[in-house]
Structure 1
């Protein structure tokens, strides 16, 4: 009997090729999307799970009262950056802490023979190798970093300098604010993609620039700190002991901060907290480089579930569409003795067979779309042989559920035909599909929601990338001076500018402390007892001219005027914050000089977006006071648009003349600015992909519903054609209701999409588009056009059918 079921099921699937393909394709998309989201969620949950002592590793964090920028809604700020002296104190004073490490980053120039590159450096304590379980390829983890002149490389970096030779024992030159020679004592595997801790080059933390100075400054919060506890540690007791450490080493400082900020005694101004290593990746409350919002997993999981439900709805609709073609088969089977449950088994088995065909198609789509999915989500998910069992098991589970749920109603419906009515010809072919209409409206409303959301995302990103930022970012190269934090940086800028005056394709060269999207300095200060804060950049007189920033009043810096080295140029936001009516006669005492009046304001520039459009334009001042605000670590080179590659080569040649022992690195400013919105671009891609899937499956649902309607109205159409109805009249008659359903779906989706986009996507931007009616109208027209194209097949087919075929039995 099972063999017969399979044979008949196979024949029916092959016989109805179009519907079988549509069903299988729709289900395969839903299964593929679910599998991809399962892989995504599994990857998210796998972060930092590979460490042997993962349950005993904590990241220490600070929770401090924001006394500078008081926000009643969020008065506290949380950070993973702590004083350098905290770890030694914790190791000495808390017995439960077995080991620990600080972990901070920087960059340096590495040189071996004729190979010179800029590398990202990670400064760590020797306890790093006891806290974490990264695999050491070469070297002894118990003997690493016993001296300060050691270095550990990842295999990729080791090959870059030493080829296939073992790097152990070889020396390499490093310039990170001073030249030094280091010995390679280990090769460590690169962190896996699901690691919150990333590195390429490891160095002792004592080699970090200005570490000796910073280790005694308990007010300098620059060092993420990790500890590993013993088995007897109690987290409640640990919190109390951390509080004692804070009071011992920072008590006086905290009281000073309280007085300076006029903070009430009943407010806790600072405390040490901690997160488990395995919870760190999804802890968005504390800033960290590799953090993921857990809501993303919920959103993606919800979309995957909805798409799967839509696929099941489509299956039901399409199965009912073709059911009347099998009424004679059911009647004959029942006459010859088939029981209802046998027919349910027959049709249910067909459903499962088609579902498992869909599963294999879906797995093929998973492998096909995985690279694009990784690009959209920023993941590096790989499917290895070890994942095959899990992948097949998860897919089979989803498929079994889908096959049973999607096939249950059609199987019961088809097996319920009465043989007497069917075989005597009195059976009506009219199908009651009213229950499917709300479901199809629901699935198309979801598609409409995604269409509108995608259009809003696209318009916002278009706005972000085309908005006038108040400066010119085109044809601007950002070139680090590759010097230490010293006067050498300023000298390099001047030498490079002098050299490039010979090149007609170079418009201007300016120096600044740091470029856009590469960091900032934010100073807090007191003016007349009131707390103020402002961003500050070190610049030279060419900075404003190179960027094309507009001067509102006053003048730019002038290198020929000695007093300009202590003066400032401010933006309009700072003038407004200080409530100045005549800013050119004001002084900004940002250093809280108790003797002098502060820095003379010599100019005011029009507000420009030195931060991303997620943030408002904050108070800003520019200074040439290198002793206070720093040196010119970055050059901005404005070039002509003609033959840009040749100009870059000229810059490279000039660099080799002036600094042959250091690498020539550069980026384009417009690309740096665009990178600020990478996560938003990624989510726009994810929503676009989800929208495409949802639209495709929703269209299959409309296709099924239009098929049901065409079957229901076959004889009506025949009569209308006999009475003289034209093809156009019948086309409108059949399609009108679907356009109405699509219109109802859009009407329901518009407020939902407006609310979600306003309070989720656009809420992150201080500068954003206005959601006008035309945006929703365009989205609706797109959706209606898609719906019309989808349902036209059955309408045209029914309208072109010869009425003699439909009326000859009446």
Structure 2
């Protein structure tokens, strides 16, 4: 304690640096642990699996690698499968205890005088028995009655207030019909660590199109979960699943085998089980926000880097503050102190400082957890810190930090013989290879963090600012889908156009079949007459004034206003023309899927390519159709005038209430819908930026300490050189030359590492910013300036050394 009191400044820097490093490390690893803990709360989680379908796509196709997504590099996986698969597995595969198929959708609830649109899960009756969602009122068998519904506690309070929800009647409009349901169960709210984020559970037989889907093996639109009998391995069931797949998909298997160039003995596709707790950390689930394993790996590496930088910083500063402790060590040894006691002293100091730092970091973590959870869009709470696995993590970090930060000073100071120390031999020689290596590692990590952070920022900014080929500014999307017949939505669109025709704040009204960022219907088109090569084509339903409202440029073809009946007409994008190599496409006859057995459509125009999917996906062939019998107008698009946004919204809402009555008015800005697709990447950028900024600050604090060591180690030499006429610049270069050499070596190592990591991270994006030589040169220059700025203080101090004082010390 006396030593720490005498060296208050260095102790404060050590404690502060370690506290910040430990806090950042704990927060990051807490988040990683949280993400990896999804759906592990289920009592039967070790026996629960998601059924997935894999397909061999060949080495020439870009898919997730094993390091990236846990999948084979020549395979892709999907999880939407036929509804009858669930029952078939239960009936034909030994070792399967229960199965549940799940679908989701939107319905319109009516009760009392209120109406509200909500998302629901359509599930089979064993859902509440397979998964551990506690039923707080009613029965877990409620879903065995197709006309009972399960509702969460939060929705029970929202819908019925203080009244008992159990037994209440809800009217549900879905798929063009309206039915009455009784609340048969109230379920606890799903925890944050669950892929099942539901509020309402309805029986599967009410999913729109159930009559067809229940027997159609070709309709792949449900997720299937299975509970295995205790002791049964997933590998055993996988073999039976492959046989079941062959039984029902033999033609498709043969097609995929031919397409992939495989022989009859090789499987081109099949079914396999994925453990439920692992589903969240894979990225193959459509319409589900999961997290890449690589992202969690990169965060773990970042946390380790921060802790390593803080520990190296501690070692450097410990050596700096120990400049006067050589005599102390010598005296203690002359008084009979053993090497073990010297080791014990330094380990005790390290443990004490680390313990204080850990206490401060715990306070920081407690203060930062709520905001950190909001930043990462996860419901992290203080309760997560006190989980046994988190406490083990924190204690482990304490032990690792003590070993990392304390071992070198302790071993270094305890190894010298008493006579050497009392003769004044320097025991904090900065020229040691080990210390140079530590500084090189620290600066390498720092350089990689600086380059990686700025590269991430450049890529996300590129995505947010890229021209999408359409103008979404001031365009409002209004929900027009309430489970009613398609004709009702069409009529509502016409009435809204009439109601807003004279508005001075609205410049246009149109309709579309979906909302941006929610996915679009795709159809497989055969490419050529005698080939099995198939290309997915996006099919989008629009009103004829939709392209103009969205600023989509038509580059070829007829004016849509000149065509009376558009129900059998298409617009196609440039990618469609290029993909299929169609000459004179305008006026040509095309078939859905390029199958002449299907209805014919005339192409009346070509539009410039525009992006409706996020930029992780390459631009795809697209057709725009106008057939109201094919898809409904589920969203209204309304362009507001730029200087009348508030006025325009008020007029739109008033018109909606007149036209739609008591249906809820739900809207969003299309520009925000598009940017929301990159929300997770923006969170990644923020987290990496904050963590990297902290690590860089701690690293340069260590560099500051190293610069001080160099000056202390060479006081006498600097005094002599000054007497002999050395200038301030000569002394500055002399003191910092070694640091600058180490910095250049670190840049030569850290910048390529960062470049490689950036290239791996950017693989998920079909469109990538170009980080050329200018970018990397600017990064190198910025890091060199940071280093020079950090060491300048002690360089200036070296030039101000009083030779008389330094030589008197000698």
Q: How far off its partner does 1:407 sit?
A: 2.0
The answer to whether residue 547 in structure 2 is matched with residue 580 in structure 1 is no
Does the CA contact (< 8 Å) of 2:370 and 2:381 recur in 1? no
SS in 2 for 1:359: helix
The residue aligned with 1:464 is 463
Q: Deviation of residue 488 (structure 1)?
A: 1.7
Q: Is the 8 A contact 2:476 2:668 kept in 1?
A: yes
Distance 2:477 2:86 in 1: 37
- The Cα shift of 1:616 comes to 2.0
> What do the CA deviations read for 1:225-256 (whole angstroms, capped 9, x no partner)?
11223336454553444345445555577668
Superposed counterparts of 1:607-686, under 5 Å: 607-628=609-630, 630-686=631-687
Cα displacement (A) at 1:658: 0.9
Is residue 548 of structure 1 aligned with residue 551 of structure 2? Answer: yes
Q: Deviations over 1:329-354 (max 9, x none)?
A: 33443444444433332233212211
Contact 1:510/1:540 (8 A) holds in 2: yes
C-alpha distance in 1, partners of 2:293/2:74? 23
| CA deviation after TM superposition for structure 1 residue 376, in Å | 4.5
Distance 1:77 1:417, change over 3 A: closer
Shift in CA distance, 304/99, structure 1 to aligned 2, threshold 3 Å: same
CA offsets per residue over residues 748-806 of structure 1, 9 Å max, x none? 22222222222x12222222221212211222232223222322333334434444332
Q: Greater CA deviation, 197-206 or 329-338?
A: 329-338
1:220-299 alignment runs, 5 A limit: 220-231=219-230, 233=232, 235-251=234-250, 265-284=264-283, 287=286, 289-299=288-298
Q: In structure 2, what is the equivalent of residue 149 of structure 1?
A: 147
Q: 1:510 maps to which residue?
A: 510
Give the whole-Å Cα distance in 2 for the aligned partners of 1:262 and 1:334.
77
- Please, which of 16, 32, 36 is the counterpart of residue 7 of structure 2? 16
In the TM superposition, residue 736 of structure 1 has moved relative to its aligned partner by 4.3
Question: Which residue does 1:320 correspond to in 2?
Answer: 319
Conservation of the 8 A alpha-carbon contact between 1:458 and 1:684 = yes
Residues in 1 aligned to 2:587 and 2:387: alpha-carbon distance in whole angstroms:
73
**1:43-65 CA-partner distances (Å, limit 9, x unpaired):** 23422222222232222222346
SS at structure 1 position matched to 2:648: helix
Give me the whole-angstrom Cα distance separating, in 1, the residues matched to 2:98 and 2:389.
37
Kindly state the Cα deviation for residue 267 of structure 1 after the two structures are TM-superposed: 4.9
Tell me, yes or no, if structure 1 residue 63 matches structure 2 residue 34: no
Following superposition, the deviation at residue 430 of structure 1 comes to 7.2
1:780 aligns with 2:799: no
* Change beyond 3 A, Cα 1:372–1:724: farther
Counterpart Cα distance in 2 of 1:784 and 1:642: 48
Matched, 1:381 2:383: no
TM-aligned CA deviation for residue 360 of structure 1: 1.0
User: 1:130-169: per-residue Cα shift (whole Å, max 9, x none)?
Assistant: 1111111111112x02332222111111111111222111
Deviation of the 1:277 alpha carbon: 2.1
Residue equivalent to 1:7? none
- Cα distance in 2 between the residues matched to 1:356 and 1:544: 64
Q: State the 1:482 CA deviation.
A: 2.6
CA distance in 2 between counterparts of 1:264 and 1:741 reads 57
Moved more, 770-779 or 469-478: 770-779
1:487 matched to 2:487: yes
| Distance in 1 separating the partners of 2:771 and 2:18 | 35
Within 5 A, what are the aligned runs for 1:63-82? 63-64=54-55, 76-82=75-81
| Distance in 1 (alpha carbons) for counterparts of 2:731 and 2:761 | 44
**Which deviates more from structure 2 when the two are superposed, residues 21-30 or residues 458-467?**
21-30
Residue 212 (str. 1) matches residue 214 (str. 2): no
- What is the alpha-carbon distance in structure 2 between the residues aligned to residue 638 and residue 546 of structure 1? 7
Trace 1:719-730 onto structure 2 (pairs within 5 A).
719-723=720-724, 727=728, 730=731
Seen in structure 2, the aligned counterparts of structure 1 residues 550 and 101 have a Cα distance that, compared at 3 Å, is same
| In structure 2, distance between residues paired with 1:678 and 1:124 | 30
1:12-44 per-residue CA deviation (whole Å, 9 max, x = no partner) reads 112111111111122223322332343234323
8 Å contact 1:506–1:639 — kept in the other structure? yes
In 2 relative to 1, CA 597–193 (structure 1 residues): closer, same or farther, beyond 3 Å? closer
1:432-473 CA-to-partner distances (Å, cap 9, x unmatched) read 433212321221111111111111111111111111111112
Q: Residue 445 in 1 paired to residue 438 in 2?
A: no
Q: CA deviation at 1:663?
A: 0.8
Gaps of 5+ in 1: 1-9
3-state SS of 1:325 partner: coil
Change beyond 3 A, Cα 1:390–1:793 = farther
More divergent stretch after superposition (103-112 vs 390-399): 390-399
- The residue number in structure 1 matching 2:67 is none
Could you say if the C-alpha distance between residues 332 and 491 of structure 1 is closer, same or farther in structure 2, counting changes exceeding 3 Å? Answer: same
Q: Is the Cα contact below 8 Å between 1:99 and 1:130 reproduced in 2? A: no
> Could you say which residue in structure 2 is the equivalent of 1:804?
804
- What is the CA–CA distance in structure 1 between the aligned matches of 2:387 and 2:2, rounded to whole Å? 31
- Range with bigger deviation, 108-117 or 46-55: 108-117
RMSD (CA atoms) = 3.0
SS of 2:221's partner is coil
**What CA distance in whole angstroms lies between the structure 2 residues aligned with 1:290 and 1:470?**
26
Q: Residues 803 and 163 (structure 1 numbering): CA distance in 2 closer, same or farther, change over 3 Å?
A: farther
Give the Cα separation in 2 of the matches to 1:397 and 1:663.
53
Q: TM-score, normalised by structure 2?
A: 0.91
The residue aligned with 2:602 is: 600
Q: Deviations over 1:687-730 (max 9, x none)?
A: 21231132122212212211110101222333444455555554
Name the structure 1 match of 2:107.
108
Is the CA contact (8 Å cut-off) linking 2:592 and 2:598 kept in structure 1? no
- In the TM superposition, residue 542 of structure 1 has moved relative to its aligned partner by 0.9
Does the 8 A contact of 1:591 with 1:598 survive in 2? no
Paired with 2:387 and 2:216, the residues of 1 have a C-alpha distance of 53
For residues 391-413 of structure 1, what are the alpha-carbon distances to aligned partners after superposition, in whole Å with 9 as ceiling and x for unaligned? 45433332233224422332343
Distance in 2, Cα, partners of 1:165 & 1:429: 77
* CA–CA separation in structure 1 for the residues paired with 2:417 and 2:238: 74
**What is the distance in 1 between the residues matched to 2:351 and 2:82?**
62
* Further displaced range: 44-53 or 185-194: 44-53
Distance of aligned partners of 1:28 and 1:627 in 2 relative to their CA distance in 1, 3 Å threshold? same
Q: By how many angstroms is 1:520 displaced?
A: 0.5
Distance in 1 (alpha carbons) for counterparts of 2:309 and 2:3: 24
Is the 2:256–2:269 Cα contact (8 Å) retained in structure 1?
no
Contact 1:355-1:400 at 8 Å conserved across structures: no
Distance in 2 (CA, whole Å) between partners of 1:631 and 1:595 is 24
Deviations, residues 322-378 of structure 1 (Å, cap 9, x unaligned)? 222223333443444444433332233212211211111222222233234334444
Cα separation, partners in 2 of 1:238 and 1:329, compared to 1, 3 Å: closer
CA spacing shift, 1:467–1:290, aligned 2, 3 Å: closer
> Is the 1:78–1:287 contact (alpha carbons within 8 Å) kept by the matching residues of 2?
no
Cα distance, 1:691–1:595 mapped onto 2, change above 3 Å? closer
Aligned residues: 795
